[in-house]
Amino acid sequence: MNCPNCSAPMRLVDQRDYFVCDYCGTFHFPRESAEGIRLLGKEADVDCPVCHEPLQAAAVEGHLVKACPRCKGILARQRAFAIIVDKRRADYRGPKPPPKPIQDDERTRRVQCPSCGRVMDTHPYLGPGAVLVDTCGECALVWLDRGEMTIIERS
């Protein structure tokens, strides 16, 4: 990403979800999506396991994740995922939606880990909310499809 003021390259600030221009000092704070994902405009080193587009560096609740700009899925380390869920649940003040059953076709899908290429485990989230998450135990990664983070947060 280039600076909107001087066109110099901007640097992603370590452990943060914004950019700074080392030349002129300008800051850039990417906008959040409806699910609280900030795409950081930097291509990640892996492709989306669902639509096979390159994932982008992103941030959720200040934690770096990878997100798909096309299908809006999120790839997170298991530890970051747990912290994000705890934070979002603590902050959520709205009503709890009624649980919905998991569709049978969702149980049979196979998603390959974008990091190691193995088939990820697809299983119900071990917490409230009727969602299936895809996890890779080898790489300690969690894949969430669009909307699943919101369901988990509000359950």
Per-residue pLDDT of 55-101, as tens digits, reads 999 989 889 999 998 889 999 999 999 999 999 989 988 887 777 77
The pLDDT of residue 127 is: 63
What's the average model confidence in pLDDT over 142-148?
A: 92
The pLDDT of residue 102 is: 72
Q: Is 68 left (phi over 0), alpha (psi -120 to 50) or beta?
A: beta
CA distance 99 to 96: 9
Using 50, 70 and 90 to split pLDDT, how confident is the model at 154?
confident
Higher pLDDT among residues 150 and 155, named by residue? 150
Mean pLDDT across the chain, nearest whole number? 87
Higher pLDDT among residues 98 and 148, named by residue? 148
Per-residue pLDDT of 25-35, as tens digits, reads 998 887 777 77
Q: Is the pTM of this model over 0.85?
A: no
| Residue 104 dihedral angles phi and psi, to the nearest 5° | -60, -35
Q: How large a percentage of the chain has pLDDT more than 70?
A: 91
Per-residue pLDDT of 116-131, as tens digits, reads 999 999 888 866 667 8
What 3 state SS string does 22-82 have?
Answer: CCCCCEECCCECCCCEEEEEEEEEEECCCCCCEEEEEEECCEEEEECCCCCCEEEEHHHHH
Judge whether 37 and 30 are in contact, CB under 8 Å: no
- Tokens at residue 86, please? 């705890």
